[in-house]
Amino acid sequence: MTDTTEIQGTVRARYANAARDVTGQAKVTDGASCCGADTPVITEEQKAVFGEALYGDDHRALPENAVLASLGCGNPTAVAALGEGETVLDLGSGGGIDVLLSAKRVGPAGKAYGLDMTDEMLDLARANQAEAGVTNVEFLKGTIEAIPLPDASVDVIISNCVINLSGDKAQTLREAARVLRPGGRFAVTDVIADEDMDDATRADMQAYTGCIAGALTDREFREQLAAAGFTDIEVQETHRVHAQAASAIVRATKPA
């Protein structure tokens, strides 16, 4: 599946289901994962590499549903070095955990945007924001290939296991560069494919919406970031999430 619109529709349906899974039950103790099979519930095996386990104690003061809807492969707020007064944008913000954590780090003088294309996730995120009582947050509807913000409007872009889901990653990275201010920082966690990932895995759309088959390799990520105009590019593998893929911290800078 290579058509961007078709990919977006498939990904949207899966993550809408993940949001409904969280909000449809009083307590989903196993959480939700972007990398499950037919169900979004994290398996015992997946708990160590996806979701809540990667946040340490950072999430303790957040609403339970924000934590249960955590679908990522890392903790981008811990690697973004956010400062007081900064404006941060989370690409594919889901239930809002990274946006709410970012809002606390940038403080009242800063702002945290969350961008998501799934109505169910946006509803969940806004409910979590209201429960947390965080005011310096705004959730936007849109795609990461067409960010609904002006040029040079944010200081930092974060994302957690989402860029691999894009059907046009080059455009996503160009958009990230566009909305960053000069000197702005790109600091995401994402799935990185092994160079020898087999064709069967890449062709499996279930794996695509589960973070694996749509992933760039380390080399491809660096090349596409450079093509979008980024410098100071770093890709650091953190842990394996699949026989043919790993989670990684990816950092880059928009030249000043």
What is the per-residue pLDDT across 67-101, written as a single tens digit (0 to 9) for each? Answer: 454 555 667 777 788 999 999 999 999 888 889 98
* Spatial CA neighbour of 120 closest among 143, 95, 146: 95
Specify the length of the chain in residues: 256
**Which distant-in-sequence residues (6+ apart) come within 8 Å of 199 by Cβ?**
none
Alpha carbon dihedral 85, 90, 96, 98, in 10-degree steps, equals: -70
pLDDT of residue 223: 98
Domains of the chain: 4-253 (3.40.50.150)
Report CA 242 to chain centroid distance, whole Å. 18
Query: Which portions of the chain are predicted below pLDDT 70?
Result: 1-2, 15, 18-74, 205-213
Q: Measured between alpha carbons, how far is 241 from 57 in angstroms, rounded to an integer? A: 22
